[in-house]
Amino acid sequence: MKIKSLLKTLGPGLLYAGAAVGVSHLVQSTRAGASYGFELIWVVIVANIIKYPFFEFAPRYATATGKSLVDGYYKTGKWALSIFGLLTISTMFALQAAVTVVTAALLGNIFGIALSPNSITAIILFFTMFVLLSGKFSTLDKMIKVIILTLTVSTLIAVIAVFNTKTVDAVNFDWGNAVDLAFLIALVGWMPGPIDISTWHSSWTVAKMESSGHKPSLKESLFDFNFGYIGTAFLAMGFVSLGAFVMYGSGEEFSANGVVFADQLIKMYTSSLGNWAYWIIAIAALTTMFSTTVTVLDAYPRVMQPTSELLFPSLKMKNEKSMMPYTVWMLITILGTLALLVYFGRSMRFIVDMATTISFVAAPVLAILNYKAVTHADFPKEYRPKKWLLIYAWIGMVFLSLFSVFYLVWRFML
């Protein structure tokens, strides 16, 4: 694999990391370590392993066909694309709200902004919209590389600094406790990220090919993906470690209030590194969450535009390069997010847990759709997953389905 060709390919995998390393890592993984020590680190590892095939199918499909998974769903059947569209609409506002409200909390805390959290959230969303409409994909692609590097370095330094600073005793996670189980569902729902990101990733892969003029080989695309995927898994374990070594046993719990949580999060870093690191950590945390906000806000219009046009052909504009449909879907995302926050925005934890739980329940459905896309009769044979990967995917689909059924029975029938 030539280095020059590889550098042209790198990007979508890092955008995946930018979307994944956000609430699931900064919030949920840290809460896992703070509340249960290292007892749930196996859950983080298993979630990454179980979901791997369904994320891997994204760059595989895009490289083979030059199109996103949205096209794969449509080829499976209009019913498949309709299910994807409904699931996306049901989760998009909660997911965007969850990542943006954490970003707003960090921004307000770091710079002492006196505005209300909802006002800061609105400013961030409309500013992000301006950035995306101005720079398009190339700006997003370049920006994310710097952000992910900053986060990775700062997190590794923090973990090394706190490693083995205290003994973390085992805690008995109570499988019969509603609070413990609800947190577990939320943790798995977004670890390493919602399976929705696979569709986004395929769209970014197509956009990268169009902007660079380079069509990568399958080997190059999978290297880019694995680089981002494995990196996010290690970062998740790093955040669990930070929560365990710094907050576990301190008697302090993470607040459901966004501004207070942001203060706790940054102090968690500085308590291990020293006050000198405040601005380094603050900027790293803020840029991490901002990158997630940007990638998510870009992703929804990017997948909903072709979804709506395929389901309702009359919506397709004659000028295929028009930014109007993308802009309209972005406005819908922003307005829906702000409406959700007006009604449910008092508790950041509620928004986060709601979004992660919805993603958890939807995971097996999206996993099945991704599997069908890469095993469809029209999918090029030379790009099809090997038998071991298909068996691996079947195991994942069964696991995710059983876990979702268990949750629904526990939540609504017991």
Q: How far apart are CA 291 and CA 138, in angstroms?
A: 14
Q: Which range (119-133, 167-181, 264-278, 345-359) has the least confidence?
A: 345-359
pLDDT of residue 371: 96
pLDDT band at 76 (very low <50, low <70, confident <90, very high): very high
Angle (CA) 71 76 80, round 5°:
85
Which domain does 365 fall in, by range? 3-412
Q: Note the helical H segments in 112-217.
A: 117-162, 178-189, 196-212
pLDDT of residue 254: 64
pLDDT band at 2 (very low <50, low <70, confident <90, very high): low
DSSP for residue 77: -
Where is pLDDT greater, at 270 or 106? Answer: 106
- Give percent of the chain with pLDDT exceeding 70: 84
For the stretch 235-271, pLDDT in tens is: 888 888 888 887 766 666 666 665 677 777 777 667 6
pLDDT of residue 191: 83
pLDDT of residue 330: 95
- What is the radius of gyration, based on Cα positions, of the chain? 20
Q: Which range (20-29, 306-315, 365-374) has the least confidence?
A: 20-29
**Residue 88 vs residues 42, 91, 96, 318: alpha-carbon distances, Å:** 29, 5, 11, 25
Average pLDDT score over residue span 372-386: 93
Cis ω before 313 (30° cut-off from 0): no
Average pLDDT score over residue span 97-119: 85
pLDDT band at 388 (very low <50, low <70, confident <90, very high): very high
Confirm if 258 and 228 have CB atoms less than 8 A apart. no
pLDDT of residue 8: 58
For the stretch 309-348, pLDDT in tens is: 999 988 887 766 778 888 999 999 999 999 988 877 656 5
CATH no. for residue 71? 1.20.1740.10
Residues 6+ apart with CB under 8 A from 9: 208, 214, 216, 220, 221, 223, 224
Which secondary-structure segment (H or E) carries 163?
Answer: none
Where is pLDDT greater, at 310 or 29? Answer: 310
pLDDT at 4 over 70: no
pLDDT of residue 356: 66
Structure-block tokens of residue 322: 């028009």
Handedness of CA 184, 190, 191, 195 (dihedral sign): positive
For the stretch 155-181, pLDDT in tens is: 777 777 777 666 666 667 777 777 788
pLDDT of residue 106: 86
pLDDT of residue 208: 83
Number of domains in the chain: 1
pLDDT at 144 over 90: no
Where is pLDDT greater, at 52 or 5? Answer: 52
pLDDT of residue 346: 59
pLDDT at 189 over 90: no
Give the range with max mean pLDDT: 51-65, 224-238, 347-361.
Answer: 51-65
Q: How far apart are CA 196 and CA 160, in angstroms?
A: 33
Please state, rounded to an integer, the average pLDDT across all residues of the chain.
82
